[in-house]
Chain A
Amino acid sequence: MVPPATFTSYYGRPIVKASPWKSDIPAYLFLGGLAAASSLLAAGADLSNRPELRRVARIGALAGGAAGTVALIHDLGKPTRFLNMMRTAKPTSPMSVGTWILTTFMPMASLAGAAEVAALLPFRIPIAGRLLDIGARPAGLLAAAVAPGLASYTGVLLTDTATPAWHAAKRELPLIFVASAAAAAGGLGMAGAPVGQATPARRMAVGGAALALVMEQRMERSMGLSAETLHSGKAQRLFNASRALSIGGAVGTIVLGSRNRAAAAVCGAALFVGSACMRFAVFEAGQASARDPRYTVIPQREGLRS
């Protein structure tokens, strides 16, 4: 299929508007995914008695979720009104659904994470410390129960728009986002836990990175014309960096991850950063596709002709 060389527009001006979102939103896409997959890793580590892996994963879930929440509020046009998100619950709004998922996740992940932080302190906290010890496991498991929603809804958040590059990726993006979340959380686990305890983290990291890379290929085919936006400008640099870091990190993990803690940490960091770069690449590609009317007009014209 060769796209038509020319199309008409109104003085080249955009038809749809790009989102007004700044880097807060792609940062949240990454941090929310990191938190979600970390809470699943933490739950597994808890149940399989891997305390050091559990610690880094629970703290990752707490820190990722907290930083992501701050980013979300910071991005609002009226941050003081962030609680208005909770006046309603709307299944037609992925952002509303996500608000309630995050609202369920955060207290649970915070409790489990706080228990790990408290355990690191040189002294015992009198009563609250005991409560944290008791509550950590059920809270961690509850956080893990909503984690799949937290990791995947952000894919729908982007694809449920008129932004050409996002909407065209609707069949792949949620899967790419969960895979990327697994790679980031696995990478963090590899960096933060000794190699003996980090086997599940390595598997999660490599599996996530591999699935994301495969699905990205499929996504580009689904995107049609708008896939161009992944291969120019800022999105291209981020997308290329993401793929290089993910491939390098995954191969390094397979070769060296179980032998050497330092090598595992480097590979984990590569996968972690690679996951973040992918979120920013997809975000920037969407913004670029909204700014150029060709990505709105040409696919719609082709749809009308067929």
Chain B
Amino acid sequence: MWGWSNAPDPAADTGWTNAPARKGFFTDGSVCIGCKACEVACKEWNGIPEDGLQLLGMSYDNTGGLGASTWRHVAFIEQPRRSVGTDGLTPLPMVAATSDQNTRDGGAETGIRWLMSSDVCKHCTHAACLDVCPTGALLRTEFGTVVVQDDICNGCGYCIPACPFGVIDRRDGPVGARNVGIAQKCTLCYDRLRDDMTPACAQACPTQSIQFGDLDELRVRAQDRVDTLHAAGVTDARLYLADPNDGIGGAGAFFLLLDEPEVYGLPPDPVVTTRDLPAMWRTAAIAGATLVAGAAAAFVRARS
């Protein structure tokens, strides 16, 4: 029921036979240029309604975060940059903050570096939203992804506080508009996957910051990329959610980040809440037994 294996295969564990290789995203923040093509392509392909047009005062981010009607979100972080190169050229921003040359040059704040990364549903190996869904509306697909069945969800909202990343949400809007009142999130373009197509965001990404493919292959590719960046002096580069031994059993959609996860609005050590559920049920059983014992004791030798 709460199967934790070292090499989890969520599709097979769910009961799919002859499932295709697990699919996922590797989102490489070191090459994201913040064009938001992924956000637009996602909205276009999935027919997602507009969900607020306002200026948020958060660098170039006026999207804010993932939600019922935002399934890709590009984060923009402006950080102080220590210096520019002595040759007068501006080095690549992510290199500038860490390279030996810049450290030697004294570290005076002469500008900013931009961190950009496109966030998305993580399609967790151990998915809390799916575990807690009482209707079975949330489904593990043959690709190992997690999808809401729009015609089943009754909008109970339980998946929303269960998600350790704050991804899924209930769509607000006028009654009768499409999927209002039910939980919505990235489907990893389930419809496109079934036709052997690349998800819309990855298809639209002009820098291959969003890479789609078989998860096993993506993990190898991502490790190569980190090694390359480390060799180039970008020691900040790290993979996030690529480890199958982390608190969610690794993600189907994982990331290469250039700073701590919380800088990008991601939890530093996410854990699927249902990992503790057996212990919580035991606590509830003790509580229930206490109630019965207490009620019985209340009647013992009570005069009437």
B-contacting residues of A (Cβ < 8 Å)? 7-11, 13-21, 36-37, 40-41, 44, 47-50, 75-79, 81-82, 84-85, 87-88, 90-96, 99, 147-149, 151-153, 155-157, 159-163, 166-167, 170-171, 174-175, 177-179, 181-182, 186, 196-197, 199-201, 203-204, 207-208, 211, 286, 290, 293, 296-297, 300-301, 303-304
Contact = CB atoms under 8 A, between A and B. Distances in A.
A207 B298 contact: yes
B280 A78 contact: no
A260 to B, nearest CB: 17
Contacts of A9: 262-263, 265
Interface residues of B, number: 75
B161 A155 contact: no
11 contacts: A9-B265, A10-B262, A17-B161, A75-B156, A76-B156, A85-B154, A93-B132, A147-B291, A174-B283, A199-B302, A293-B262
Contact of B164 (A16, A36, A157): A16
B31 interface: no
Nearest to A203: B298
A170 B56 CA distance: 36
Interface in B58-108: 58, 61, 64-65, 75, 77
A160 B277 contact: yes
B237 interface: no
Given A8-B263, A11-B58, A49-B304, A88 B157 contact: no
B296 A19 contact: no
B160 interface: yes
B302 A17 contact: no
Contacts, number: 265
B288 interface: yes
B122 to A, nearest CB: 13
Interface in B168-208: 168-171, 180-183
A88 to B, nearest CB: 4
Given A10-B75, A77-B156, A162 B273 contact: yes
Given A10-B262, A15-B267, A93-B132, A41 B295 contact: yes
The 4 closest A-B pairs by CB, nearest first: A77-B155, A148-B288, A10-B265, A77-B181
B291 A37 contact: yes
Contacts of A186: 298
A40 B295 contact: yes
Nearest to B181: A77
B276 interface: yes
A93 B154 contact: no
B48 interface: no
B297 to A, nearest CB: 7
B146 interface: no
B303 A16 contact: no
Nearest to A300: B269
Contacts of A90: 131, 133-134, 136
A95 B287 contact: no
A270 B155 CA distance: 35
A48 to B, nearest CB: 5
B231 interface: no
A152 B160 CA distance: 22
B135 A84 contact: yes
Contact of A300 (B163, B268, B287): B268
Given A77-B156, A296-B267, A300-B267, A196 B161 contact: no
B156 A204 contact: no
A139 to B, nearest CB: 18
Given A92-B131, A199-B303, A161 B295 contact: no
B287 A160 contact: no
B166 interface: yes
B291 A181 contact: yes
B165 interface: yes
Interface string B251-293: 0000000001011111111100110110111011111111110
Nearest to B136: A88
Contact of B287 (A81, A175, A201): A175
A91 B1 contact: yes
B248 to A, nearest CB: 11
Given A11-B265, A77-B170, A85-B156, 13 more contacts: A10-B58, A15-B262, A78-B153, A81-B155, A84-B154, A85-B134, A93-B134, A94-B280, A152-B287, A162-B273, A177-B287, A207-B297, A286-B161
B163 A156 contact: no
